[in-house]
Amino acid sequence: MKSLLFNIHDLILILSISAFCLIAIRQVADNSDNKPARRLWLGFWTLNVLACGYTLLFWSDALRRPAFDAAPYVFCVLGTTSLLTGPALLLSLIQSSTNAGRFLWRHLAHLLPFAVSISYLYIVCFRFDSDTQRFLFLELHLYQQAHTYYFTFVSLTKLLPVIYALAAVIWLSNNNTLSEKAGYSATRQQRYARLYVGFLFLWSWGAVTHFIGRHFPSNFPDLMGIVGNYLTLFLALTILLDKDLCSGANATKATNIQNPDPGKSTIKTAIEKAVLTDQIYLNPQLNLERFAEYTKLNSRDISAVINQEFEKNFHEFINTYRVEAAKIKLRDDTCKHQSISEIGAASGFNSTATFNRLFKKLVQVTPSDYRKSNEKTDRGCTFNISSAK
């Protein structure tokens, strides 16, 4: 970053910031039903804006000192945003794919590295006077300070996003049935795969640059850093030009074009076919958005028909069928070798706790007690939709 490409490097970062800002604005305009996923994606794109902004501030001779003198703690916070981008990427993928919709306290564990890093930087640098802060942080003398382990700290900030991106790629590859059962087209799933592989490669490049710069100090790591910024811009522009990526709005709009005003009876027939014939409820990743994509109907129309015709909300409606499927398996002698957890998973529940809770709520007994009290074998495989009412 000391080369003659410095001004172009500045421009590349500014363009990257602009591209991620536009992606974030597009996310705000997204009208998909999966609001938690929309918020997570918005947070992820905002973090990328901040990460690019920090790189610009830190390496620009025209900006770094005035900005640091005006607000040194901004550098303390922005320097650790990479510890949030990884969790945001992985959680956005899981929320988009499962529509979990519930905040779990264990999610706060993903914020722990960020909180610890802020405390660490304050202790080793930002608790001192401004001149000392500038000497240690801006001039990179923290690397030479004894017992600060600053290289280890920076290494962790580089490696953790890589680990999260790798986890996202593995998670997506292990859940490739989404394109078949959840309504995701194979093309859209491939777009998601390219997105996560792109960030995995980009963050891996940054980590490799860091380690090369430490062990082989020369102009080569500077050149790698500049190339990394070009790669960031390329990835940002690729995402910006793909309007369907990370958005459910376009899928809904396409659905409306294909079925501008389907009648209630048509919607009900499509719902019955999806649950009775196709048994889509057996997919544990099913949510209203995917059900709409699968049936090529508007999600609001589906929800309205289920409420009016079956007097249930979408999740109650789907879980009723899952419980009925589980009841059949629990009565079937050929399924006696299966555990309660296996039967719950085979019936479409993504956790044993949820299976037990909903089964007891609808049947008034636990799955284990139901199995014990039913010794006769029911070899039927379907049930009438009226049982869901």
Q: Domain spans of the chain?
A: 6-250, 260-388
Name which of 153-162, 179-188, 260-269 the model is least confident about.
Answer: 179-188
Residue-wise pLDDT for 334-352, tens only, equals 888 888 989 989 989 988 8
Where is pLDDT greater, at 171 or 240?
240
Confidence of residue 311 (pLDDT cuts 50, 70, 90): confident
For the ranges 61-65, 210-214, 366-370, the lowest mean pLDDT is seen at: 61-65
Contacting residues for 196 by C-beta, under 8 A, at least 6 apart? 89, 93, 165, 168, 169, 172
Collect all residues with Cβ–Cβ distance below 8 Å to 54 and sequence separation of at least 6: 75, 78, 79, 81
pLDDT grade, residue 188 (50/70/90)? low
Task: Give residues with Cβ within 8 angstroms of 261, minimum separation 6.
Answer: none
User: Could you confirm whether domain 6-250 is CATH 1.20.1070?
Assistant: yes
**What pLDDT, on the 0 to 100 scale, is given for residue 264?**
78
* pLDDT for position 177: 45
Tell me: pLDDT of 376 over 60.
no
CATH number assigned to the domain with residue range 260-388, chosen from the 4 options 1.10.10.60, 2.30.40.10, 1.10.3720.10, 3.60.21.10? 1.10.10.60
Residue 207 predicted with pLDDT over 60 = yes
| Residue 180: per-residue pLDDT | 44
What number is the average pLDDT over the span 149-153? 93
- The answer, yes or no, to whether residue 297 has pLDDT greater than 70, is yes
Stretch 111-135: mean pLDDT: 93
Q: Taking the alpha carbons of 10, 12, 13, 15 in that order, is the dihedral positive or negative?
A: positive
pLDDT for the residue numbered 163: 96
Residue 248 has pLDDT above 50, yes or no: no
- HSE value, Cβ hemisphere, 13 Å, CA-based, for 199: 29
Collect all residues with Cβ–Cβ distance below 8 Å to 211 and sequence separation of at least 6. Answer: 155
pLDDT at 185: 53
State the pLDDT at residue 152: 93
